[in-house]
Amino acid sequence: MLQTKFWSIAASLLLASSPFCAQAQPSPLVRVNVAQPVADIQPTMWGVFFEDINFGADGGIYAELVKNRSFEFFKPLMGWKVDGKKRTEGDVLIQNRQEKSTSNPRYVRITTSNAGQGDLSMTNEGFRGMGIKPGLRYDFSVLYRVQSGNIKLHVDLLNAKDEVIGSGLLTPQQSDKSWHKQQISFKSTAGESKATLRLWFEGTGMVDLDMISLFPEDTWKGRPGGMRADMIQMLADMKPGFVRFPGGCIVEGYDLDQRYQWKKTLGPAEDRQLIINRWNFEFGHRPAPDYFQTFGLGFLEYFQLCEDIGAEPLPILNCGMACQFNTAELVPMDQLDPYVQDAIDLIEFANGDGSTKWGKVRADLGHPKPFNLKFLGVGNENWGPQYVERLAVFQKAIKEKYPAMRLVCSSGTDPNGDRFDYLNGKLREMKADLIDEHYYRRPEWFLQNVNRYDSYPRTGSKVFAGEWAAQSDKTVSVNNKNNWQCALSEAAFMTGLERNAAVVNMASYAPLFAHADGWQWTPDLIWVDNLRVYGTPNYYVQKLYSLNKGTNVLSLTQGNEPLAGQDSLYASAAWDKATNDVILKIANVSDKAQARTFQLDGAKKLAPTGRLTLLKNNTLDAVNSFENATNVSPVDQQIPVDVKKKTISLTLAPRSFSVVRVKVL
């Protein structure tokens, strides 16, 4: 609140001292041609890239609080502590029914004799603790099978001092020696960011337990077993044009066995076969031995998420190649069919009606309405002739059956060099719909490459700038920060993407989420802990672009040249036909205030005031944090428009990113 006040005072001071109040000297003129839009901006222009990295899914947007709920981690009791004064040999046993269930073979068998409080307990530590809110309902569920006797399950939520902050009692209702699911709900009495969940057993007997689960009531849209609402809200607030999922390298897998297979992510949670998350062991300096993919968040949920937030789904599938930084395993060409079939089936799953095999699967899962999938990625960061060869098979098969499906194709790991040049050439020969470019580079690179797409062909393949982020140190360095310098360089670079919307049809920052206590990769757009979430300066840049996307590119020039680095200024302009707004985006990366007059040529009649949204900070190292979440965040103000001259005069604050909207009446 105080900060808002500070900014509005600062803004009015800026307004009072700016050239539109006392025009001493005419400032350089920037011309915007409103009469003749030069290209369309695709509705998909600004989107988000989601991957289960940094505890993005399990321990992140998937709201399950129990870690290793099904005892399928390599160490079956990882995350669990067995305790109690009556503990005896064999009273807690891991059973494996692999011959009966390959997707969820393990469960735990508890045997007790006349047990009471303190005698035998199992405590789950959660994903770096459990975030518990005061007075909220928590839903505990378990799959159980009573073998003999009567054992009751006491469920306690504990705070960091091991004090009970919520509890319930589950008395198994069935004793017919088969599996049953039972749920109880209880309210927490206090909040805690590092809570644990203790089960203790009362009575005598033997019971088998599996899928021990705890969800908060306040999931996204209140869906049971759903997603963490505060994290999803951050995405919804961006109104992204698309969501790319589920990655990233996890699509490829360390080896082919660990690749992402969408068909294994459907149906009851207990049937979704867990695999290791390749970020578990990828970085020796950031090990996460407890990082697995439960797939509680699966493809139906991803599609549903896209539908919820009005984004086009963009699933990426494995192309028959494991991560080339890891095993680089290849599926022989004569065995590629199942991979291709997965792609064909996915399209049917998303778009087919109930009369089709996979459309019916979707309908039976509770979503009869098709998702209208338009984009599909084949391969993530794959490269070389082996990729081209495999992609060609996918392309032929998919286009034959679904000619309108737009395929996203990989140009490898880097935006230049032999790998890129080879693939870029080949993909254009193949008439690839969209070429996925990745750039994790220093902020200077982003400034130097603002003209990257000016010389790209206007016809043929389009670009999906699928993964990028300015690195304050270097790629995969743990020292990278989401600082203002990086965000500002991205804002400047994005003027080049917008100016070239004829070529660039989609763009997304990467990675999206990181858990402060469990990350492997930095920088990331949104940081969370068990209870809190904050957007980085980079998030606000992405959000401003997305919320001010417009529908058409307008030409914006200073002295007949695009404003792309002269005096450290970078600018682009768009027209929004839905609102009749002219939208200007201007990054001033210099440490000086700079005045410019924007002339809106060809605009019939302008509204007398416009809106300036300003993102700025004098310190390039400035970051946001849980404690200071809006340190670098946008502030709105009204600005005057000279309706006679059809100009807007701005003093662009040092190290700032400005978005201006002016209505044409």
Catalytic residues: 381
DSSP one-letter code for 664: B
Sketch the per residue contact string, 520 through 559, with ligand AHR: x for CB under 6 A, - otherwise. Answer: -x--------------------------------------
Min. distance of Cβ 503 from ligand AHR in angstroms? 22
Which lies closer to ligand AHR via its Cβ, residue 73 or residue 440?
440
Name 143's Cβ contacts closer than 8 Å, sequence gap at least 6.
Answer: 107, 179, 180, 181, 209, 210, 211, 270
Q: Which helix (H) or strand (E) holds 232?
A: helix 229-238
Q: Which of 511, 550, 562, 610 binds ligand AHR (CB under 6 A)?
A: 511
DSSP one-letter code for 254: S
Which lies closer to ligand AHR via its Cβ, residue 359 or residue 379?
379
Answer yes or no whether residue 51 interacts with ligand AHR by CB under 6 A.
Answer: yes
Min. distance of Cβ 57 from ligand AHR in angstroms? 13
Residues that bind ligand AHR (rule: CB under 6 A) add up to a total of 11
b/e map 84-101, b = 16+ CB within 10 Å: beeeeeebbeeeeeeeee
Min. distance of Cβ 248 from ligand AHR in angstroms? 3
Q: What is the 3-state secondary structure (H, E, C) of 211-222?
A: EEEEEECCEHHH
Q: Which of 156, 381, 576, 581 binds ligand AHR (CB under 6 A)?
A: 381
The residue nearest ligand AHR at its CB is: 248
Min. distance of Cβ 53 from ligand AHR in angstroms? 6
Which lies closer to ligand AHR via its Cβ, residue 277 or residue 649?
277
Q: What phi and psi values does residue 28 have, to the nearest 5 degrees? A: -50, 145
Structure tokens at 524: 């990331």
Which lies closer to ligand AHR via its Cβ, residue 51 or residue 210?
51
Which lies closer to ligand AHR via its Cβ, residue 56 or residue 634?
56
Which lies closer to ligand AHR via its Cβ, residue 226 or residue 248?
248
Min. distance of Cβ 511 from ligand AHR in angstroms? 4
Name 252's Cβ contacts closer than 8 Å, sequence gap at least 6.
Answer: 259, 318, 321, 322, 323, 324, 326, 379, 380, 381, 382
Residues of this chain, 575-594, that bind ligand AHR according to CB under 6 A = none
d(CA 508, CA 525): 10
Min. distance of Cβ 316 from ligand AHR in angstroms? 9
Min. distance of Cβ 152 from ligand AHR in angstroms? 45
d(CA 434, CA 503): 10
Whether the Cβ atoms of residue 408 and residue 465 lie closer than 8 Å to each other: no
DSSP one-letter code for 196: E
Which lies closer to ligand AHR via its Cβ, residue 156 or residue 467?
467
DSSP one-letter code for 187: E
How distant, in Å, are the alpha carbons of 80, 86, 156, 201 from that of 198?
9, 16, 5, 10
3-state secondary structure (DSSP) of residue 10: helix
Backbone Cα Rg of the chain? 27
Q: Which of 213, 265, 380, 594 binds ligand AHR (CB under 6 A)?
A: 380
Q: Which stretch binds ligand AHR (CB under 6 A): 26-34, 245-253, 420-428, 529-537?
A: 245-253
Which lies closer to ligand AHR via its Cβ, residue 375 or residue 521?
521
Q: Max CA-CA distance within the chain?
A: 91
DSSP one-letter code for 433: S
Answer yes or no whether residue 232 interacts with ligand AHR by CB under 6 A.
Answer: no
Which lies closer to ligand AHR via its Cβ, residue 107 or residue 521?
521
Answer yes or no whether residue 565 interacts with ligand AHR by CB under 6 A.
Answer: no
d(CA 6, CA 409): 47
Min. distance of Cβ 185 from ligand AHR in angstroms? 37
Q: Which of 59, 60, 248, 253 binds ligand AHR (CB under 6 A)?
A: 248
Which lies closer to ligand AHR via its Cβ, residue 234 or residue 251?
251
Q: Which of 398, 423, 470, 510 binds ligand AHR (CB under 6 A)?
A: 510
Min. distance of Cβ 363 from ligand AHR in angstroms? 32
Min. distance of Cβ 237 from ligand AHR in angstroms? 22
Work out the burial of residue 449: count CB atoms within 10 Å of its CB; fewer than 13 is exposed, 13-18 middle, 19 or more buried.
middle
How distant, in Å, are the alpha carbons of 187, 200, 568 from that of 170?
14, 11, 65
In 411-470, the DSSP E strands lie at 434-441, 462-470
Residues of this chain, 249-268, that bind ligand AHR according to CB under 6 A = 249
Min. distance of Cβ 325 from ligand AHR in angstroms? 8
Residues of this chain, 425-484, that bind ligand AHR according to CB under 6 A = 467
How distant, in Å, are the alpha carbons of 471, 619, 656 from that of 488?
12, 11, 7
Q: Which stretch binds ligand AHR (CB under 6 A): 115-123, 220-228, 244-252, 371-379?
A: 244-252
Work out the burial of residue 605: count CB atoms within 10 Å of its CB; fewer than 13 is exposed, 13-18 middle, 19 or more buried.
exposed
The full length of the chain comes to: 665
Q: Which stretch binds ligand AHR (CB under 6 A): 181-189, 242-250, 299-307, 642-650?
A: 242-250
Question: Strands 462-470 and 434-441, how do they pair?
Answer: parallel
Which lies closer to ligand AHR via its Cβ, residue 51 or residue 64?
51
Which of 215, 245, 223, 225 lies closest to 508 in space, CA to CA? 245
Q: How far apart are the first and last CA of the chain?
A: 34
**Contact positions toward ligand AHR, by CB under 6 A?**
51, 53, 247-249, 380-381, 467, 510-511, 521
